[in-house]
Amino acid sequence: MSLVRGKIALGVVAVGCVLFAAGWPLPVTAQSTKRAVEQPCKSAVAPVRYGKILKVSKKTKLEIAAYRRAWARACAKGGGASLNALLLRAGRVKAGMNKAIAATRAQGKRADRLHTQLSKVYPRFVPAMVGSVIEFEFFEPMLPVFKAHLRLGNAEDRAFFASHARLFGGDFKAPPWIERTWDYGGCIRLGRWTPHGKRRAGYNFVAAAGEIARLKATLKGVWYRRQVVALETRMLQALTKLPQLRQKGKPAVIDACGTSAEALGAMRRTAMAFARGHSTYRRAAAGLQRTIAAVETGRVRICETASCPGG
């Protein structure tokens, strides 16, 4: 497991998170970028300006052209289009663009110019997508923009996005059961806690499992189903073996957002509910029971974020 400064690092298998995994919305900060990204119907018919810094392949340019046409048709139709189909096309654009970004390896002022292209220029003609090479390299669909244009979609689009915030959270750098306490990691939302004097609920794994089951049973769209299944897989991996900080000669530590009592209570409730599920959920329940037993025997310690090593 990857650990930095004694905190749980995101993007590792034990946490069940992949940085920039599809399904976590990306932020838009610069106002000019925000305006461009939030107007996909205008971007779909705007002039194309690839520039010279990024070597975009012919295949990717064809994918972008098809993606733009699909958006233009959806905007012209005014309703009843499939946002799932648009997101599938966006995924192909993402793959091609990220490959081009990785091949560029821009440094210094060239990297600054590339960042400007990806974050300000490309969103003006690639609808509802934005990129960066500052801190992280990516070119991604902006899910909040798709959600803001649900009027163009169909009933399935509305069904997916109705539960998206609850299930996937709003932090594109972390899975919803991790509360980021620094740039690359954070505490696990097991039970309630009180950051800055304000009471907050933990992540309800049991409710999430029920919502996942409902969506898997009703959604037909390939992109939507992929996101739901990927979330379920990451969640069960995280619970089967909760990430722990290990220090020589000391008990392993679980960095929980709340108190030990709150965390243990959440773990017990989740294990009890998952033990009644199908095999993958039963494995997660067994993993939680092992962790609970380790805490009860002193082999593992639960600490609140502020009292954890490096906190």
Contact 86, 74 (CB under 8 A): yes
Give the domain range for residue 179: 3-18+173-307
Instruction: Assess if residue 105 is contained within a domain.
Output: yes
pLDDT > 90? residue 287:
yes
pTM greater than 0.85 = no
pLDDT (0 to 100) of residue 310: 53
On whether both 153 and 204 belong to a single domain, the answer is no
Q: Do 219 and 247 belong to one domain?
A: yes
Distance of alpha carbon 174 from its chain centroid, rounded?
A: 6
Question: What is the reported pLDDT for 113?
Answer: 92
What is the tally of structural domains in the chain? 2
Residue 36 has pLDDT above 80, yes or no: no
Per-residue pLDDT at 30 exceeds 50: no
Predicted local confidence at residue 107, as pLDDT: 82
Q: Do 127 and 199 fall into the same domain? A: no
- Do 188 and 275 lie in a common domain? yes
Dump pLDDT digits (tens) for 147-201: 999 999 999 999 999 999 889 987 777 889 998 877 667 889 998 887 777 888 8
pLDDT at 38 (0 to 100): 65
Do 37 and 11 sit in the same domain of this protein?
no
Choose the final residue of a domain: 158, 190, 221: 158
Do 153 and 246 lie in a common domain? no
- The pLDDT tens digits of the residues spanning 127-141 come to 999 999 887 789 999
Q: Residues 154, 194: one domain?
A: no
- In whole angstroms, what is the distance from residue 310 CA to residue 176 CA? 22
- Give yes or no: residues 140 and 211 share one domain: no
Q: For 66-75, 214-223, 299-308, which range has the lowest pLDDT when averaged over its residues?
A: 299-308
What per-residue confidence (pLDDT) applies to 35? 55
* Residue 110, in any domain of the structure: yes
Could you tell me if 191 and 297 lie in one domain?
yes
Q: What is the pLDDT of residue 309?
A: 57
pLDDT > 90: percent of the chain:
61
**pLDDT, tens digit, for every residue of 235-266?**
999 999 887 777 777 888 999 998 899 999 99
pLDDT band with cut points at 50, 70 and 90 for residue 8: very low
Whether residue 153 sits in one domain with residue 49: yes
One domain, residues 177 and 303: yes
* pLDDT tier, 203 (very low <50, low <70, confident <90, very high otherwise): very high
Q: If you average pLDDT over residues 276-281, what whole number do you get? A: 92
Q: Is the pLDDT of residue 212 over 90?
A: yes
Domain assignment present for residue 167? The answer is no
